[in-house]
Structure 1
Amino acid sequence: MTIILFIAVLFFLILVHELGHFVTAKWAKMQVDEFAIGFPPRLFSIKKGETEYSINLIPIGGYVKIMGENGSDEPNNADHSRSFGMRPKIHQAIVLLAGVTMNVLVAWLIFFAVAMIGTPTAVSETDYNTEKAFLTITNTVPNSPADEAGIPSGARVVGVQTEEGSLNTLTPTSFTNFVEDADGPVTIQYTHKGDLGSATIEPRAGVIESEPEREVVGVATALVENKKLGPIDAFISATQRTVNSFWAITVGLSSFLASAFTLSADIEEVTGPIGIAGMVGDAAEFGFVTLMVFTAFISLNLAVINLLPIPALDGGRLLFVIAEAIIRRPINPEWMARVNLAGFALLILLMVAVTYNDLLRLF
């Protein structure tokens, strides 16, 4: 299920990104030869008009092939006026930035919708609405009694009992004290994804490394309330969240790349497709809203990555357009094609490296 969710999220984000390129290229009267989701080998394709629409096997990207975009792919019988390089520079820039713009817009729309629907938010024990806030399991310690009993992260606690009595106030502090004071097994009743569950657990010591003497069941809890905003506040919140997240991702990625140039980067800081797939599954465990928020963050990450000034990425291609506008003549198309190919090879190498790192984490 996690893999299916990951592919669905990635397919959606790649689709909207490439749609941005496709729609603006058509608007700019460029000839679009192919609209593809995924990288070859090809699984399915259909041609309508001048454009071939294809689904490819490797679902980690996509592309819109525009005549002349790579500098040396124009057939002899083509209408060269519709070539990428023959259109105005401002149109070229708009086409190249359209994919990133779509990813940012999708993130903003998700943040806006989530703010209107309601976002699960941790609230203080000293100031909360007893009818709206619920004790929620935010994390389960691996190999702890709770983990072994199958209590999932994201579960909402609805009851806690021992042979001596029941917990009346469901807050993180009262839950922790109740468990530690128990002389025997603790029964935790919870709901998760609409289903009611129950587990009887024996607290034990040695679960928390920093406090090995404490007897616990191995869960982290918080009071969570679903907070909704009105349209105006949701608009402001979505805008702030999009800008702040985009900037934070940019700063973080820039810092990593700077350390890479000084050979001090830690590759373990980077997560590849396998790691992200696991995160999608974890987000889904907390519900639809959490999954959508995580999707928004992935969309913003794709936007920032595509803006990097690396050949084969939108940012690298945009640099060529800016350079041509400055020097007022086209760059040698064969040289540009070779540089783009080298950039693509670099991206594939990086993808292999981070995927290998993901596999090391698993095994």
Structure 2
Amino acid sequence: MTTIIAFIFVFGLIVFFHELGHFLLAKRSGIMVKDFSIGFGPKIFAYKKKETQYTIRLLPIGGYVRMAGEDGEEIDLKPGFRVGLELSPDENVTKIIVNGKDQYVNAQPLEVSHADLEKDLFIEGFEDFDETKKVRYNVARDAVIIDGKIETQIVPYDRSFGSKSLGKRAATIFAGPLFNFILAILIFTVLAFVQGGVVTNESELGKVVPDSPAASAGLKQGDEVQSIDGKKTDSWTDIVTIVSENPGKDLDFKISRDNQTEDIHVTPETVKEQGKEVGKIGVASPTNDSFGAKISYGFTQTWFWISQIFTVLGNMITGGFSLDMLNGPVGIYTSTEQVVSYGFLTLLNWTAVLSINLGIVNLLPLPALDGGRLLFFAYELIRRKPVDPKKEGMIHFIGFALLMVLMILVTWNDIQRAFF
């Protein structure tokens, strides 16, 4: 049960932040957002506020923000349609009833002769279906079309995704991955404050374990190690390397303490790690507990993981691709199960790394991903005109289908690794 809760927390948080980036930039650009969904498939929870429906869905394979004008959805009232109109006190159309007119007894019957529900926002026709009574009404910007039990809000052209400048469209798409990186920065920063400091690679000693070889020899936290057995130490890594390679051997630590140099002899205890003997003296790595170090840690650690992930991607390209290199929802679940055993702080760190992963993967220039859409925007910038929407939509559809096939293969591979 703990693993399930942890998985929902991790998955929900990183997908929520990704979609929140799209959502906030869309709103800021004046784009109507129709759906904000976590997950795909059947709805588990749905809530509508103003023009946006917020949903949680069954399949934990991502999420989406559906913006007006992205899906090619058009509302077309052709001449001859018989509809019912509900009007505001100033006689602007607020509801256009296509089906189910009998439930709106006060609706004004109208046979449509012409309508524009995108730019000029009007509807013309014959009142009471009488061709001698031609009328024209202005349509409210938030008017809805009712088709039985389905209500669809009209989309004025200036509220659609396609009406916005190339810069605003690109920023709205890029905001999803960007918010994944922002989430990672926030998590790493919180971890730095909770843990009380940031691990550094300075050539000095951190906390000394009581009754350890270091404590018994007289080493103290903050001691700057200049050399060990005559070997210069410029970093914590140097100290760890020398100690690990000399289990049970008397080592001469030359340290600086209170502006004075001392020689202290320490004998590392012998510990078995991964089948071989290594030396340990009972000292933790040094930390920097300054406010600036804790704040900067969020950025430096995020950049570290970005570079690590790009290194892995490079190795996948040059060294050959294998499904074993990828993890789907099942693989992430089994990995989360292991991470949970190490505690909540480790789970937070895992969440940050996954968030960076999601951000980078979404920036790959592949159809149906954010990177693929940004590639089309780059093409539009160069050619000075957009790609045909139907062609672009078909490419993204094929890309999405291929991604779903890959997801199924990866998930099956995850199941085999986990249970067989």
Please give the TM-score of this superposition, normalised by the length of structure 2: 0.61
The question of whether the paired residues in 1 share the 8 Å contact of 2:207 and 2:284 is answered with no
1:20: Cα distance to partner?
0.8
> Aligned to 1:303, which of 359, 363, 375?
359
Q: Displacement, 1:44?
A: 2.3
Q: 1:266: which partner in 2? A: 322
The answer to whether structure 1 residue 327 and structure 2 residue 383 are counterparts is yes
How many angstroms does 1:341 deviate by?
A: 0.9
Matched, 1:4 2:5: yes
Structure with the greater relative contact order (CA < 8 A, sep ≥ 6): 1 or 2?
A: 1
Secondary structure of 1:56 counterpart: strand
Query: Counterpart amino acid of 2:13?
Result: F
Over the aligned positions, Cα root-mean-square deviation in angstroms equals 3.3
Q: Equivalent residue for 1:87?
A: 164
Q: Which residue of 2 aligns with 1:53?
A: 54
Match of 2:331 among 248, 266, 275: 275
Tell me how far apart the structure 1 counterparts of residues 283 and 396 of structure 2 sit (CA, whole Å): 51
Matches of 2:199 and 2:299, distance apart in 1: 18
Partner amino acid for 1:47? K
Q: Distance in 2 between matches of 1:254 and 1:313?
A: 19
Kindly report which structure 2 residues correspond to 1:112-123, keeping only aligned pairs within 5 A, or say none: 112-118=189-195
Q: CA deviation at 1:122?
A: 11
> After alignment, is 291-300 or 347-356 more displaced?
347-356
Identical positions, percent: 35
* Residue pair 1:116, 1:228 contacting (<8 A) in 2 also: no
1:98 matched residue in structure 2: 175
Question: Which moves more between the two structures, 265-274 or 107-116?
Answer: 265-274
C-alpha contact (below 8 Å) 1:132/1:225 kept by paired residues: no
Q: Relative to 1, partners in 2 of residues 1:306 and 1:294: Cα closer, same or farther, differing over 3 Å?
A: same
Q: Does 1:352 align with 2:408?
A: yes
Counterpart position of 1:340: 396
Q: Contact 1:133–1:224 (CA<8 Å) still a contact in 2?
A: no
Deviations 1:304-359 (A, max 9, x none): 01101111111111111221222122221111111111111121111112111111
CA drift at 1:227: 4.6
Hey, what does 1:230 align to over in structure 2? 290
Check whether the contact 1:31–1:67 (CA below 8 A) recurs between aligned residues: yes
SS at match of 1:104: helix
Give yes or no for contact 1:14–1:37 (8 Å, CA) kept in 2: yes
Q: Given the alignment of the two structures, is residue 256 of structure 1 paired with residue 316 of structure 2, yes or no?
A: yes
Quick check: 73-82 or 87-96, which moved more?
73-82
How many Å apart are 1:284 and its aligned residue?
2.0
2:381 and 2:159 map into 1 onto residues whose CA distance is 18
- Unaligned segments of structure 1, at least 5 residues: 135-172, 178-206, 215-221
CA contact (8 A) 1:115 1:228 kept: no
Which of the two has greater helix per residue? 1
Give the CA deviation at 1:133.
Answer: 11
Aligned to 2:34: 33
CA contact (8 A) 1:312 1:341 kept: yes
Return the match for 1:312 from 368, 373, 380. Answer: 368
* Residues in 1 aligned to 2:297 and 2:210: alpha-carbon distance in whole angstroms: 21
Return 10-19 or 281-290, whichever deviates more.
Answer: 281-290
Q: Give yes or no for contact 2:187–2:348 (8 Å, CA) kept in 1.
A: yes
**What TM-score, normalized to structure 1?**
0.70
Q: For 1:43 and 1:107, how far apart are their aligned partners in 2?
A: 28
Q: Secondary structure of the equivalent of 1:60?
A: strand
Instruction: Decide whether the 8 Å contact of 1:39 with 1:60 is kept in 2.
Output: yes
Q: Which has the larger radius of gyration?
A: 2
User: Which segment drifts farther, 43-52 or 72-81?
Assistant: 72-81
Contact 1:307 1:315 in 2 (8 A): yes
Among candidates 195, 199, 207, match of residue 129 of structure 1:
207
* 1:239 corresponds to which of 277, 299, 311: 299
Cα distance in 1 for partners of 2:329, 2:357 equals 13
Distance in 1 (alpha carbons) for counterparts of 2:359 and 2:409: 21
For residue 301 of structure 2, give the secondary structure of its aligned residue in structure 1: helix
CA contact (8 A) 2:38 2:64 kept: yes
Secondary structure at the aligned position of 2:64 is classed as strand
For residues 9 and 293 of structure 1, the distance between their equivalents in structure 2, rounded to whole angstroms, comes to 10
2:169 is aligned with 1:109:
no
Contact 2:43 2:57 in 1 (8 A): yes
Task: Indicate the SS of the match to 1:308.
Answer: coil
Confirm or deny: 8 A CA contact 1:67 1:74 kept in the other structure. no
From the superposition, tell whether residues 256 and 74 of structure 1 become closer, same or farther in structure 2 (CA, over 3 Å).
Answer: farther
For 1:120 and 1:294, locate their aligned partners in 2 and report how far apart those are by CA, in whole Å: 17
Q: CA deviation at 1:17?
A: 0.9
